[in-house]
Structure 1
Amino acid sequence: MTSDGPAAQFTDIVFTTDGNVAEIVLDRPEKGNTLRPETIDEIDAAREYAEDTDGINALVIRSTGDRFFSTGADLNSVLPLIEEDDSDGVSEFNANWHAAYRRIEQSAIPIIAGVSGMALAGGFELLLVCDLVVAAPSARFGDHHVKYNLIGGGGSTQRLPRLVGLRRAKELLLTEKMISAETAREWGLVNEVIGEDDDLAEATMALAKDVASHHPLALRRQKHLANQSVEMALEPSLKLEQEMANVHLLSSAAQEGLAEFMDRE
């Protein structure tokens, strides 16, 4: 892998590229890979660089160490705002967090999370906005906001029910429960649980490479349409798919793919 772009400016993450895949590694293991505003800004800048770089077709997000994917927000960043009763500061903190996560969710490139250790609160919310998730067998997942009399501030109360259904979502949102990697896979939160002897970084990169091997225009449009399926009613989303398919079938990407299909023998 090579360090590229704004990587030298980063302190909370490590950003590298490997061919057509970029990778963000959360690098605050001594802090549980907690997310402070600076961390969110660095993730956002790295994502933007990956999106704007020709030839980068997918992005991986994982973490340093095996104990924590991320345990959520660094509360040292928000406690002073609360203690000072700074409503404008709190609003800005939450708005920036939501906007950065929304940009991950709506990114033009697919984003794959590799999870080892605990993914809790804001760290759990981070993987909810990724497109695919690979987990180590030891990974654990939970919302945990209510444990400290808090509520979801990064989208968990809205995204989790859409992913796993309302009953299962409430099981995590209303308790301190953590679920295993295998249960998360059964619920649809995780796509793949690697073997005990497998390497998470390698497995996550392998999936990202598979995704990135496809035409970026097809990936971008497929992801957008899939996202719209949970944000729109069925009839308008079907119309959107039809309209986009009409345009896409006349694109050079589709023509290349169809030519390859016809020549496959």
Structure 2
Amino acid sequence: MSDEDSTAASGGDFEDIEYTVEDGLAQIVIDRQEKGNTLRPETLAEVDEARVRAEADDAVRALAIRTAGDRFFSSGADLNSVLPIIESEDSDAVVEFNEQWHRVYDAFENSPLPVIAGVSGQALAGGLELTLVCDLVVATPEATFGDQHINFNLIGGGGATQRLSRIVGVRRSKELLLTGDAISAETAKEWGLVNRITEEDESLEEAVADLGTRVAEHHPLALKRQKYLANESLRTTLDDGLKLEREMANIHLLSSAAKEGLQRFMDR
């Protein structure tokens, strides 16, 4: 994609985020630095709209999400949005608030596009939960990860109690959920929360773009189906998962994508 194409793909009609597309990689950058990159309902709506745009764009094969600044990836929900809802004691408003988080996060987890999170600074509460719905995570050495709901007499409402244990195991999940402690990027990598940590002379933006464009080189149908099958492995038994894989492989081998790839293999 040319520089002109990239500029044309930029999303200038958002308030809380920046959206760009280049070399097959769409990128969302949340910019609420003065608020710790907290997520208000409007932010979630914009992030979701950017995802929809990316999925509808044939030029996009992968999606990345980062935030502005080095101090916070995101410290979760914007309390200025949460407190009025709680104080109103309006149960319908509480339900809608929580439902929006799950709608947006579920859509990222189930997106046909591979989603990469770039984490700099603190990923806490809803910020941590955002990383859990991404397929790959790149972090700076200074990044930290924690749930922290328990520190304020709260419980996870964006998926941490369910998704975290599926990534790091139940014991480690409970350690974060029940102590409110945060862990370093290096520990997060050891636990499987982070795929890679940036090198000393490498910016987070460069690392995310490098990984994202490597993913985006592959055929979108193969990417979509690989991600779907990997997600389903967490939701089904091994026998049912293997059956699903066989069924999808039978379909995929007859696709033009598979034929093209096999021909490329034969022509090496």
- Normalised to the residue count of structure 1, the TM-score between the two structures is 0.98
1:169 aligns with 2:173: yes
- Residue correspondence of structure 1 range 108-147 to structure 2 within 5 A: 108-147=112-151
Q: Distance in 1 between matches of 2:210 and 2:93?
A: 41
Match for residue 39 of structure 2 among 35, 41, 45? 35
Q: Would the aligned equivalents of 2:109 and 2:135 in 1 still touch at CA under 8 Å?
A: yes
Structure 1 counterpart of 2:181, one-letter code = K
Question: So what's the TM-score if we normalise by structure 2?
Answer: 0.97
| Contact residue 71 and residue 120 of structure 1 kept, 8 A | yes
Superposition deviation, residue 6 in structure 1: 8.0
Answering whether residue 239 of structure 2 is matched by residue 250 of structure 1, we say no
Residues 208-227 of structure 1 mapped to structure 2, 5 A cutoff = 208-227=212-231
User: 2:204 maps to what in 1?
Assistant: 200
| SS of equivalent to 2:28 | strand
Amino acid aligned to 2:176: L
CA offset at residue 236 of structure 1?
Answer: 1.3
Shift, 1:176, TM fit: 2.1
Structure 1 match to 2:106: 102
> Does residue 1:91 correspond to 2:95, yes or no?
yes
Give the counterpart letter for 2:115 in structure 1: I
Deviations 1:113-141 (A, max 9, x none): 00000000000000000000000000000
Q: Does 1:160 align with 2:172?
A: no
Match status 1:54 vs 2:58 = yes
Contact 2:10 2:20 in 1 (8 A): no
CA change 1:112–1:158 in 2 (3 A) is same
Give the structure 1 partner of residue 71 of structure 2.
67
Distance 1:24 1:215 in 2: 22
Q: Residue 137 of structure 2: SS of its match in structure 1?
A: strand
| Count of residues paired in the alignment | 264
Question: In 2, are the aligned partners of 1:114 and 1:201 still within 8 Å (CA)?
Answer: yes
Gap runs ≥5 in structure 1? none
Q: What does residue range 4-19 of structure 1 map to in structure 2 within 5 Å? A: 4=8, 7-19=11-23
**What are the ranges of 5 or more consecutive residues in structure 2 without an aligned counterpart?**
none
Show the counterpart of 1:241.
Answer: 245
Task: Measure how far apart 1:75 and its partner are.
Answer: 1.2
SS of match in other structure, 2:158: coil
- Check 1:175–1:4 CA distance in 2 against 1; reply closer, same or farther (3 A cut): farther
What RMSD, in angstroms, separates the aligned Cα atoms of the two structures?
A: 1.0
3-state SS of 1:9 partner: coil
Q: By how many angstroms is 1:234 displaced?
A: 1.3
1:26 has 2:30 as partner: yes
Q: Percent identity, aligned pairs only?
A: 62
